[in-house]
């Protein structure tokens, strides 16, 4: 007798101290039985004794509302160690498919345990007259045609009948059976074609495999290293190649084939690098980061229609990568002809300090053409200390380590440094001192700029501030323009004791000046 059963769930006690043990629930259902009766058996042990066994039947889902309740009768043993049975007549016309049966066992201690079992209510389904052609397929001829008739049998005392409108899957696009249950499927590129009727409506599932043999074709993989930059940290490697198969009429490109790159393939130290798929013309491009040296190869694995192949690309040599740690180039705004500093640490990829290595400070106005400004060697702890005392142009600065036989070079990111002319206010004075309250007070000074030589700063705005005695607040009193000789002057009415200050606040081309002060006693 063929039985169809749903997988049972784990025991779920509804009371903390239920004494039911060794609880099992099974279902027997023969879809060819004319009576279509599902039989349930429950076995249980209980110290206090089983007082009730019944089941709730749910359709389509274990959480659906019950549509029937089934009482059980003990058929063997005792309430303390017994077997209970129940029968149920499902209605396949109203509810074809899955029935979930929740069995509830109550014991004399008032506790209940449950077990979920169930069955599929469906008609036995077969595929009759099944054929597949051709018998042998390969990459040149990957198509196969599958034919058959889907039949259903409602019980063993009646003959199978056609199943019209049944969905058939498994090979190529899904198809639907005709009025006589027949179907035709067309599959392409499937190594294991089959016709499958999934569970649907009142039909049980069925699958038939095609009697097809695949004749594999050999492939040839070629490749070469297109570019490798062993001087950059974690260098990029580019490999290009092609995969072809030995078709009946000669080599044929293989599209969509996975190609992998590896170091030291076939050895204990083998390392996978990357993989990619071939294009429509069979070509491929692989990019990966080189972390160590080794024998580089590319290859493909066997597929349903093709055998794999590989190509050795030679030895890949990679020097140990290096890096700058805590690197600073300062200041970012600096005075004309002033000092620029660069400091930090040179280390390898594993944080080992690289001592006594030459490092260079380089300058560029366009980030394309670089010139060496200064050079130094790293300290015992890999410390970098570089400087340049000839800053005359805005531009970009970087630190570079040229590398060596065992270490790859490294270059810092360019940092823009703004070079401005320095300024200074001389001869600052607020007079007369002391001065009578209400009288005129004159504030003056001379602004100079420092280019290749010291020059007066003409036509520049100078701000004049006042801080009353006992106050911490500065108040801007006026802004005056310097004369062609750099002098500026402004008169005010003397009102209270305090300090006068002048300041040139700078521009895109000039740094801010000093801020000289002068205290005036107002009497």
DSSP helix/strand/coil, 212: coil
DSSP helix/strand/coil, 463: strand
| Residue 77 CB-density burial (10 A; 0-12 exposed, 13-18 middle, 19+ buried) | middle
Q: Which residue in the block uniquely carries the two structure tokens 């040839």? A: 220
Instruction: Assign a CATH topology to domain 126-214.
Output: Immunoglobulin-like (2.60.40)
Q: How far is CA 331 from the centre of its chain?
A: 38
Strand partners, 311: 298
Residue 3 confidence (pLDDT): 43
CA distance readout (Å), 294 to 297, 316, 317, 318, 406: 10, 5, 7, 9, 15
Give CA–CA dist 118/62, Å, rounded: 9
Contact 462, 478 (CB under 8 A): no
Residue 387 confidence (pLDDT): 93
Q: Which CATH class is domain 422-520?
A: mainly beta
Contact 86, 72 (CB under 8 A): yes
Mean pLDDT of all residues in 402-430: 92
Q: Locate 198 and state its tokens.
A: 């999934």
Residue 17 confidence (pLDDT): 55
Mean pLDDT of all residues in 7-22: 55
CATH no. for 12-121: 2.60.40.10
CA distance readout (Å), 310 to 259, 298, 305: 9, 6, 17
pLDDT reading at 154 higher than 50: yes
User: Pairing state of beta strands 415-420 and 333-335?
Assistant: parallel
Give CA–CA dist 117/157, Å, rounded: 28
**Where are the chain's structural domains?**
12-121, 126-214, 219-316, 322-419, 422-520
Reported pTM: 0.55
pLDDT reading at 176 higher than 60: yes
Same topology, domains 126-214 and 422-520? Answer is yes
Residue 1 confidence (pLDDT): 34
Contact 451, 444 (CB under 8 A): no
Between 273 and 229, whose confidence is greater? 273
Residue 472 confidence (pLDDT): 95
Give CA–CA dist 302/257, Å, rounded: 10
Q: Locate 13 and state its tokens.
A: 């006690």
pLDDT reading at 407 higher than 70: yes
Mean pLDDT of all residues in 74-99: 97
Residue 452 confidence (pLDDT): 85
Mean pLDDT of all residues in 199-205: 95
- Going by pLDDT thresholds of 50, 70 and 90, the confidence category of residue 27 is very high
Q: Which residue in the block uniquely carries the two structure tokens 């006693």? A: 521
- Going by pLDDT thresholds of 50, 70 and 90, the confidence category of residue 294 is confident
Residue 231 confidence (pLDDT): 47
Q: Which CATH class is domain 219-316?
A: mainly beta
Mean pLDDT of all residues in 371-394: 92
Residue 230 confidence (pLDDT): 59
Give CA–CA dist 124/152, Å, rounded: 6
Mean pLDDT of all residues in 16-30: 86
Which has the minimum average pLDDT: 173-187, 224-238, 446-460, 491-505?
224-238
User: Pairing state of beta strands 219-228 and 236-247?
Assistant: antiparallel
- Going by pLDDT thresholds of 50, 70 and 90, the confidence category of residue 7 is very low
Residue 482 confidence (pLDDT): 97
CA distance readout (Å), 297 to 260, 286, 312, 315: 8, 11, 4, 9
Contact 153, 124 (CB under 8 A): yes
Check: CATH 2.60.40.730 for 322-419?
A: yes
Give CA–CA dist 317/294, Å, rounded: 7
Which has the minimum average pLDDT: 256-260, 265-269, 289-293?
289-293
Give CA–CA dist 365/368, Å, rounded: 8
């Amino acid at each position: 007798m063929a039985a169809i059963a749903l997988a049972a769930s784990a025991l779920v006690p509804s009371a903390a101290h239920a004494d039911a043990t060794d609880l099992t629930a099974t279902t027997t259902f023969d879809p060819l039985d004319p009576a279509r009766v599902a039989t349930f058996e429950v076995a249980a042990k209980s110290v206090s004794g089983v007082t009730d066994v019944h089941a709730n039947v749910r359709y389509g889902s274990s959480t659906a509302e019950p549509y029937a309740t089934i009482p059980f009768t003990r058929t063997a043993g005792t309430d303390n160690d017994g077997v209970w049975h129940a029968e149920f007549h499902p209605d396949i016309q109203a509810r074809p498919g899955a029935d979930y049966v929740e069995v509830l066992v109550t014991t004399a201690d008032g506790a209940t345990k449950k077990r979920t079992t169930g069955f599929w209510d469906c008609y036995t389904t077969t595929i009759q007259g099944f054929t597949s052609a051709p018998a042998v397929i390969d990459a040149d001829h990957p198509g196969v045609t599958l034919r058959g008739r889907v039949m259903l049998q409602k019980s063993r005392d009646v003959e199978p009948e056609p199943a019209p409108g049944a969905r058939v899957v498994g090979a190529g696009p899904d198809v639907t059976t005709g009025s006589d249950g027949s179907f035709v499927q067309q599959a392409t590129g499937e190594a294991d074609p089959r016709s499958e009727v999934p569970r649907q409506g009142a039909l049980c599932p069925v699958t038939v495999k095609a009697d097809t043999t695949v004749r594999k074709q050999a492939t040839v993989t070629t490749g070469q290293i297109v570019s490798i930059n062993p001087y950059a940290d974690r260098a990029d490697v580019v490999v290009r190649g092609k995969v072809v198969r030995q078709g009946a009429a000669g080599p044929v490109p293989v599209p969509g084939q996975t190609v992998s790159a590896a170091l030291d393939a076939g050895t204990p130290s083998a390392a996978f690098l990357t993989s990619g798929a071939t294009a429509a013309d069979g070509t491929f491009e692989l990019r990966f980061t080189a972390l160590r040296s080794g024998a580089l190869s590319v290859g493909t694995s066997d597929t349903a229609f093709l055998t794999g192949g590989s190509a050795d690309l030679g030895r890949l040599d990679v020097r140990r990568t290096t890096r700058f740690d805590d690197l600073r180039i300062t200041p970012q705004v600096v005075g004309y002809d002033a000092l620029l500093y660069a400091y930090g640490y040179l280390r390898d990829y594993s944080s080992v300090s690289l001592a006594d290595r030459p490092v260079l400070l380089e300058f560029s106005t366009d980030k394309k053409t670089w010139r060496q400004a200064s050079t130094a060697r790293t300290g015992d702890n890999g410390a970098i200390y570089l400087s340049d005392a000839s800053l005359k142009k805005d531009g970009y600065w970087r630190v570079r380590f040229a590398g060596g036989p065992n270490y790859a070079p490294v270059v810092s990111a360019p940092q823009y440094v703004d070079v401005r002319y320095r300024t200074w206010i001389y001869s600052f004075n607020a007079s007369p001192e002391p001065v009578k309250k209400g009288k005129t007070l004159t504030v003056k000074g001379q602004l100079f700029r420092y280019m290749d030589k010291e020059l007066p700063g003409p036509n520049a705005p100078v701000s004049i501030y006042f801080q009353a005695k006992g106050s911490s607040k500065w108040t801007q009193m006026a802004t005056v323009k310097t004369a062609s000789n750099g002098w500026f002057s402004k008169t005010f009415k003397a009102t209270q004791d305090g300090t006068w200050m002048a300041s040139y606040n700078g521009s895109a081309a000039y740094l801010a000046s000093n801020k000289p002060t002068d205290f005036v006693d107002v009497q």
